[in-house]
Amino acid sequence: MSKDKASGFALILLTTLCITYIVENFLRSAAGALTPVLIEELGITHGAMGLLTTAFFLVYGLMQVPAGILGEGYGPRKTIIWSTAVTVVGVFLFWINRSYPVLFVAQFLVGIGSSTFYINSVKLMLEWFPPSWKATAVGIMSASSGIGNTLAYMGFPLVYERYGDWRSFYIIVGVILLLNWVMNLFLLKDRHPPNGGLKIHDMVESVIRVIKNPKMQPYIISYAFRSTNFVLGIWLTQFLIDAKDFTYLQAGQINSIGTLAAIPGCIVVAAISDRLKKRKTPLLFFAFMTFLANALILVLPAGSVVLFSAVNAVMYISVGYWVLYFSMVPEILPANESGIGLGLINAVCTLGISLLSPIYGGLVDITGNYWASNIMLLIGALLVPVLMLRIDDPYGGLSH
C-alpha cells in the first residue's frame, strides 16, 4: 500500500474513535442544552448554572497535561479505556440525579473520564495515519463532535417538548457509550510501545520545557482565548431565549444548526490546510471569520429563526480552525513532547471555559442583561487571530 494512503486498520480506528467522541461531546453539551430546564427544575440562578458547567470543564482542563503524561507512560489505548469507564459511571449518576449536589458530582466524574480521550485519540491517529492524512483524520474526528453537540442541543428540546422528560434520552446515549467502550477494548491498539510507567521528574521537566518553548507560547495563549467560543455555545440557548425572545425549541434549533455546521467545518478547514500545505493562513482567516460571526449573532435584532440559524452556521463552520492547532503542535514539538503540548493547549482552553462560564452567568445576574458578558467573549474571539500573527507556518515539521 502507498505510504500516502490510510490503511484499513487506521480507518477502523478512526470510526470507533468518532463514535466515542460523538457521545462524549453529547455529554459535554448536555448541561448547556438543558440550562433552561435545569434552572427551573433545580431552582438555581444563572451563576449556579455556570458553576455546574464548571464542574465538568475545570477538572477536564486540569487533567489535560496529566492526560498527555498518562498516554506517554501507559499508552493511549489503556488511558482511553480506563478513563471512559469513569465517564460511564458519571453518566449513570447524572441520569439518576434529583439534586444539584449529585448533578455536580456527576459532571465532575464525566469531566475526569472525558478528559484524556481527545489528546490520546489524536496521538493514535498521528501514529497510524500517513502525513498527507494526519490533519484530515484529526479534522474528521473533531467534526464528529458536531454530531454529539447537535444531538444535545436539538434532541433535548425536542424530547422535552414532547414528553416533558429528558432522562430517558440521556441514558440511551449513555448505553451507546457503554457498548462503544466494549468495542474499544478490542479495536484500539498502540503502534508504539508506551514508556511503561510515569517518570514524574522527567515529565515535569518536559512540561516546563514545553511551556518555556517560545514557539509554543502563542499557541498556548491564543488557545486559552479560544475558550470564549465554547462559552458562547454553552450560553447561546439561554441568551436566545432571554435576549431575543425565542422559545426553548426555537433556540435549540438555532444552536443545533450551528453544531451541525461544525461537522463540515472541521473537515473543510483541515482539508483546505492539507491541500494548501499551509496552517497559518487558513487559521487566521477562519479565526477572524469566527469573530465577525460572533459579533453579528450577538447584535442582530430579534426576529427570524432562519437568519439566526444561518449566522450561527457560519460561526460554527469558521470555528473549525481549532482542529489546526492539533496538527500544528506536533509539527513544532519533538514526538516525546507533542502529547504534553497538546495537553497544555487543551488545558488552558478548558480552564478558560471553567473560569468564564460562571463569570458570564454572574454578569447576567448582576447587570440584568447580556451586554457585559458578550463584550467579554468578543474580545477573546478577536485575540485569537491577533496573537497567531506572530507564528511561522509550521507545515511539514511533523514529529516522528
In a domain, 3, yes or no: no
In a domain, 380, yes or no: yes
In a domain, 397, yes or no: no
How far is residue 245's CA from residue 366's CA, in Å, rounded to a whole number? Answer: 20
The three state secondary structure string of 55-75 is HHHHHHHHCHHHHHHHHHHHC
Amino acid 195: pLDDT: 65
- The interaxial angle of helices 335-367 and 46-62, nearest 10 deg, is 170
Determine contact, residues 158/142, Cβ cutoff 8 Å: no
Amino acid 197: pLDDT: 61
Q: Which residue has the cell 434552572?
A: 39
In a domain, 311, yes or no: yes
Host domain of residue 51: 8-388
In a domain, 1, yes or no: no
Rounded to two decimals, the pTM is 0.74
CATH code: domain of residue 226:
1.20.1250.20
Model pLDDT for residues 321-341, shown as the tens digit of each residue:
988 998 888 888 887 777 788
Domain count for the chain, please give it.
1
Determine contact, residues 142/322, Cβ cutoff 8 Å: yes
In a domain, 399, yes or no: no
Q: Residue-wise pLDDT tens for the chain (400 aa)?
A: 455 566 788 888 899 999 999 999 999 888 888 888 888 888 878 778 878 877 887 888 888 778 777 877 788 888 999 999 999 999 998 888 778 888 888 888 999 999 889 888 888 887 888 777 777 888 888 888 888 888 888 888 888 888 888 889 999 999 999 999 999 989 988 877 766 665 666 677 878 888 899 999 999 999 999 999 989 988 898 899 999 999 888 988 898 888 888 888 888 888 898 888 899 999 999 999 999 999 998 888 887 899 999 999 999 999 989 889 988 888 888 877 777 888 888 889 888 888 898 899 889 999 988 999 999 999 999 999 999 998 999 887 654 4
How far is residue 310's CA from residue 195's CA, in Å, rounded to a whole number? Answer: 48
